[in-house]
Structure formats: structure tokens, C-alpha cells
């Protein structure tokens, strides 16, 4: 166990002097409760000081001070994480990046954009789309920061066709735990120059360094897109269609699955009706491309596969209004489920696409074994399920016992199916025991070795990942 220095008045004064703007250094009662947790709220610890950085120099100076004085530091973006990864478990300093939010350069020759980490995903998407470019990663929470997305290797709904955040990070400027500023990668398209430290930084949940600039790869904006909403008589049939769609070599942008009970939650949450109510289970697919002809070929083929698999209908959505009502409902699922119970915890496992049905069937059984309600939705196209275990009216004691049992069962089944603990939300604090259980002990030791090579004093986001 690392013994950290407890922050005192002399540290507050020193940090204020480094930043030179008292409004950006929050202490005591000026620290909002939000800084003590993330979006799922299960892990709660207060920082001693929050520094709202606005330059790389701010980050470097605070980090150097923390390193020399053995004070723990936790980076934080918008706090929309779901595994407690931005929670300062040891107190100390929170470095919050939302003021570090400038667009630095759109490079049309190299098809890259360079931004600071506090730029929000929705701001980045709007900025590049207005100029005819496309940043494909599309995680559900658009108010997350790009720094947070990079640090969790955020996935999202377009992963089936376009991949995840790591696939779009070309270069990073990073402040290391000792305060040194380094560049990883760059604008180059290829790079075989030693270990892939830039790729290691992506998804490291603020445990190896603090991202202060990112150069991201862009694509030309697809001119056309279309969504298919496909009602099925059962979830099993809906999920069963996904691997067949992949096998057909059609390349949808997204294949999502959804169930009526979650759609009803979303209707209540949004106060508006979903455009179809004939089925208990749906696949929602999206196709995009340069021309109508290019996408028509793909979606005709996929519609045929769905009908052969027993789909009740194939509803084509090509107007902005209809697309909006379907995708808004999909985007609201997490918040809607949260609003339907007193408290919940989540599992974000990923399994091979062909095993999604086996896992879902098993989860259905767990509701009986652990006598607890579970709701699911997720990315049928990439095997990443979002599984929500609901507390409802259970006492705290019952909840702990039943939730732990349900989690253990789900993670061990995912392991048996050659799955991984997290598809996109990360490990943070909440999923650490499950990663430790699922990894080969040799690999866990290598991960710990990597952490100590970057951060020998273990001051950057301690108690996270491994
Ligand atoms: C409704 C909802 C839907 C969601 N949907 C998705 C989804 O579809 N896909 C998905 O992947 N996630 C999803 N998420 C989870 C969350 O939005 C992502 O994990 C997001 O990437 C977190 O970004 P943030 O800015 O909020 O980071 P935070 O929560 O503030 O931090 C997350 C982690 O990143 C680190 N970090 C933040 N900024 C930096 C930095 N500059 N340098 C180093 N480390 C840093 C923190 O220390 C922490 O470990 C969803 C969350 C919600 C609430």
C-alpha cells in the first residue's frame, strides 16, 4: 500500500500559485458533490482539491508538484463513466479537463483533427460534420469528453463497421505522472517504431498519463444513411439474425437489439411514443455510404435475411423525423432503465457474436436463481451486452447479496463463452475484482509492471484497473 501525503493548507496555497487563478482551484465547500462520483454513482469518494486545468502547462505543473509531494491525482473529464474510474479513491487532487477544450487544427490534407481533451464528443461531431468530415466513434453519451473517450477506449453503436476510439487516435500529447510532457504517435498513418505506447495509453483510464492533446483520424462524411427497424416475435430470433447478417458480408454501421420492456421505459422517460409497438423484440440496423445505390444493395439483402429468420416486418426509416424518434429512444435506454428502479448496477461484457443468444438465455435464468430483475440491451453486431441489475425495493443487504451472485454468474458465463469483462465501459474501480478473476495471473503481473513503469510512485488514479 502506498502511503500518500495528506493535503494541507501549504499544498492548497502552492497549487493556487501554480495555477494563478483561484476560481479554477476548488477546495472544501466549493467542491460540488458531482466530483465525488461518476454517472453510475456506486463508488463515492471526495477529492481534497479540484483543479480545472486550461493548458498543458497547468497539468504538467500540478502533476510535477503531486509527484514531488506524493499526492494522488485523478484525471476527470465529464464524469459520465460507469465504473468509478474518475472517482478519487484516495482523495487528493482531481484534474478536471472540461476547460481544456480548444479545437487546435483541422488538417484536410492529412484528414486529421487535433483537439484538447475537454472537447465534448457532440461538439467534435458537429464541428467536423459541418465541414464534410466524419468522426465515426459514437458512444451513447454525447456529453462525454474526447479525453474520457480516449481513456476508456469508448465504443458505441457504429463499432460494427467503423471500430472503436482506439482506431481513430493517431497521436497524443500526454503528461506523465512525473509531470514530463511527451508526444506519442503523430499524424503518420503507419508506425512500426517500437512498442505501441500511444495504443497503450488509449483505454488506460487515466492510470498511465493525462491526455492533453489528441490528433484524431477523420473520414469523409457518408452522404446517405438509412435505418431499418425489424420487429421479431422473440429476442432469440432477433439475436439469431445478427451473425447471419455478418456472415452475409453486408456491412451495417450498427446492429442493436432492444426489448419491449426497455422501449416502454424509454417511452416513459422521453414522454414520446416509439414508432412501432407490434413486437417484443427488435433489431435496429443502420447503413451508410456514398450513394443510395451503395446502401440499397446491402439493406435489401439484410432485410431478406431477417424475414427468413422470422421477422414480422422490415420498417425502413429514411426520414429525419423517424430516424430521430428511433435513435433517440435507443440513446435513452440507460437513463430510462435507471429511472425505472431505485438503484442499479451494470455489466458490460463482450462475447463472440455467435454466443450472444447463449448468454442472454443464461441471464434470463439468473433472474430466477438470484430472484432479482435484470434488463438488457446492446450491440448485437459486436457481441457487447449492457446488462442492468435492478435493486427495486430490495433492502441494502438483500441487494448486495443478490447483485453479487448475479454478477459472479454473468462474468463466469462470459468467461466460459470466451468473452471479456468489458466491451467499452472499462474496468475502473467497480470491475477490478472481475478483471483479476478473468485474467491469466501472468498477464495481470505484466499489467501491474506497465503501471509501475509509467507511475513508479503509484500516484496517478490509484486503485483502478489492476
Ligand atoms: C447514458 C450513457 C451512455 C453511455 N454510452 C456509452 C457507449 O455507448 N459506449 C461507451 O464506450 N461508453 C458509454 N458510456 C460511458 C461514458 O460516457 C464513457 O466511458 C466516456 O468515455 C467517459 O468520458 P468522460 O469524459 O465522462 O470521462 P470520465 O467519466 O470523467 O472519466 C473516465 C476515465 O477517463 C479518465 N480520463 C478522463 N479524461 C482524461 C484525460 N484527459 N487523460 C487521461 N485520463 C482521462 C478518467 O480518469 C477516468 O478513468 C455511457 C455513459 C452514459 C451515462
The residue with cell 477490478 is 432
Q: Could you tell me the three cell numbers for 240?
A: 439469431
Query: Ligand 1 pocket check: which of 81, 255, 348 to mutate, most ligand atoms within 8 Å of Cβ?
Result: 81
pLDDT on residue 294: 86
Distance (Å) of CA 45 to CA 48, 92, 148, 436, 457: 10, 10, 19, 23, 21
| pLDDT the model gives residue 320 | 84
Amino acid 41: pLDDT: 77
Nearest CA to ligand 1 atom 15: 81
Query: Cβ distance 326 to 274 under 8 Å?
Result: yes
Query: For residue 78, what are the CA distances in angstroms to 43, 52, 82, 146, 378?
Result: 16, 12, 12, 9, 23
139 within ligand 1 shell (Cβ under 6 A): yes
How many angstroms separate the CA atoms of 73 and 62, rounded? Answer: 9
426 Cα to the center of ligand 1, angstroms: 9
Give CA–CA dist 357/362, Å, rounded. Answer: 9
Q: For ligand 1, atom 34, name the residue with the nearest CA.
A: 148
pLDDT at 4: 97
User: For ligand 1, is residue 177 a contact (CB within 6 Å)?
Assistant: no
Identify whether the C-beta of residue 198 lies closer than 8 Å to the C-beta of residue 184: yes
- Residue 1: predicted pLDDT: 67
Q: Which of 264, 244, 247, 248 is nearest to 377 (CA)?
A: 264
Spell out the per-residue pLDDT of the chain, length 466, in tens: 678 999 999 999 999 999 999 899 999 999 999 999 999 878 899 999 999 999 999 999 999 999 999 999 999 999 999 999 999 999 999 999 999 999 999 999 999 999 999 999 999 999 999 999 999 999 999 999 999 999 999 999 999 999 999 999 999 999 999 999 999 999 999 999 999 999 999 999 999 999 999 999 999 999 999 999 999 999 999 999 999 999 998 999 999 999 999 999 999 999 999 999 999 999 999 999 999 888 998 899 999 999 999 999 999 988 888 888 899 999 999 999 999 999 999 999 999 999 999 999 999 999 999 999 999 999 999 999 999 999 999 999 999 999 999 999 999 999 999 999 999 999 999 999 999 999 999 999 999 999 999 999 999 999 999 9
* Count of other CB atoms within 10 angstroms of residue 40: 20
Helices (H), 309-395: 320-331, 333-339, 356-369
Ligand 1 near 120 CB (within 6 A): no
pLDDT of residue 432: 96
Supply the angle between the helices 292-308 and 235-247 in degrees, to the nearest 10. 130
Q: Point out the ligand 1 atom lying closest to the alpha carbon of residue 174.
A: 42
Residue nearest to ligand 1 atom 2, measured at CA: 141
Q: What is the pLDDT of residue 283?
A: 96
Q: Which atom of ligand 1 is nearest to the CA of 75?
A: 47
- Among all chains, which residue has been given the C-alpha cell 429468420? 309
Q: Strands 103-107 and 93-96: what pairing?
A: unpaired
**What residue's CA is closest to ligand 1, atom 16?**
81
Please tell me the distance between residue 461's alpha carbon and the centre of ligand 1 in angstroms: 14
All 3 cell numbers of residue 190? 503507419
- Residue 211 beta carbon below 6 angstroms from any ligand 1 atom: yes
Residue 81 CB less than 6 A away from ligand 1: yes
Residues near 292 by beta carbon (within 8 Å), at least 6 away in sequence:
224
Amino acid at each position: 500500500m502506498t502511503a500518500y501525503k495528506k493535503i494541507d493548507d501549504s499544498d492548497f496555497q502552492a497549487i493556487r500559485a501554480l495555477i494563478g487563478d483561484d476560481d479554477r482551484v476548488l477546495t472544501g465547500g466549493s467542491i460540488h458533490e458531482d466530483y465525488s462520483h461518476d454517472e453510475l454513482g456506486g463508488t463515492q469518494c471526495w477529492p481534497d482539491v479540484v483543479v480545472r486545468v486550461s493548458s498543458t502547462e497547468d497539468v504538467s505543473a500540478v502533476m510535477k508538484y503531486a509527484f514531488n509531494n506524493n499526492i494522488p491525482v485523478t484525471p476527470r473529464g465529464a464524469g459520465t463513466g460507469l465504473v468509478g474510474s474518475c472517482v478519487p479513491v484516495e482523495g487528493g487532487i482531481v484534474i478536471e479537463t472540461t476547460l481544456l477544450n480548444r479545437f487546435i487544427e483541422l488538417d484536410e490534407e492529412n484528414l486529421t483533427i487535433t483537439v484538447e481533451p475537454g472537447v465534448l464528443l457532440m461538439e467534435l461531431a458537429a464541428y467536423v460534420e459541418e465541414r464534410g468530415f466524419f468522426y465515426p466513434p459514437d458512444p451513447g453519451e454525447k456529453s462525454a469528453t474526447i479525453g474520457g473517450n480516449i481513456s476508456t477506449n469508448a465504443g458505441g453503436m457504429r463499432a460494427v463497421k467503423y471500430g472503436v476510439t482506439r482506431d481513430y487516435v493517431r497521436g497524443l500529447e500526454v503528461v506523465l505522472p512525473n509531470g514530463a510532457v511527451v508526444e506519442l504517435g503523430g499524424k503518420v498513418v503507419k508506425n512500426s517504431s517500437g512498442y505501441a505506447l500511444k495504443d497503450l495509453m488509449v483505454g488506460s483510464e487515466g492510470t498511465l498519463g493525462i491526455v492533453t492533446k489528441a490528433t484524431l483520424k477523420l473520414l469523409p462524411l457518408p452522404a446517405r444513411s438509412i435505418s431499418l427497424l425489424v420487429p421479431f416475435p422473440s429476442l432469440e430470433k432477433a439475436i439469431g439474425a445478427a451473425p447471419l447478417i455478418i456472415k452475409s458480408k453486408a456491412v451495417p454501421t450498427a446492429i442493436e437489439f432492444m426489448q419491449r420492456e426497455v422501449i416502454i421505459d424509454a417511452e416513459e422517460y422521453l414522454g414520446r411514443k416509439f414508432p412501432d409497438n407490434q413486437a417484443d423484440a427488435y433489431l435496429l440496423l443502420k447503413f451508410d455510404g456514398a450513394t443510395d445505390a451503395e446502401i440499397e444493395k446491402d439493406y435489401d439483402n439484410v432485410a431478406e435475411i431477417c424475414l427468413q429468420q422470422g421477422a414480422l416486418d422490415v420498417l425502413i426509416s429514411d426520414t429525419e423525423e423517424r430516424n430521430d424518434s428511433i435513435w433517440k429512444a435507443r440513446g435513452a435506454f440507460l437513463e430510462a432503465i435507471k429511472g425505472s428502479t431505485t438503484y442499479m448496477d451494470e455489466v458490460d461484457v463482450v462475447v463472440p457474436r455467435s454466443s450472444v443468444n447463449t448468454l442472454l438465455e443464461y441471464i434470463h435464468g439468473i433472474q430466477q436463481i438470484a430472484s432479482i430483475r435484470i434488463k438488457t440491451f446492446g450491440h448485437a453486431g459486436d457481441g457487447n451486452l449492457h446488462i442492468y441489475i435492478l435493486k427495486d425495493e430490495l433492502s441494502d443487504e438483500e441487494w448486495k447479496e443478490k447483485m453479487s451472485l448475479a454478477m459472479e454468474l454473468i462474468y463466469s458465463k462470459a468467461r466460459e463463452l470466451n468473452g471479456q469483462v468489458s466491451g467499452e465501459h472499462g474496468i475502473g474501480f467497480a470491475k477490478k475484482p472481475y478483471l483479476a478473476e478473468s485474467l491469466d495471473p501472468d498477464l495481470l503481473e505484466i499489467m501491474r509492471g506497465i503501471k509501475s513503469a509509467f507511475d513508479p510512485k503509484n500516484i496517478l488514479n490509484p486503485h483502478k484497473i489492476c
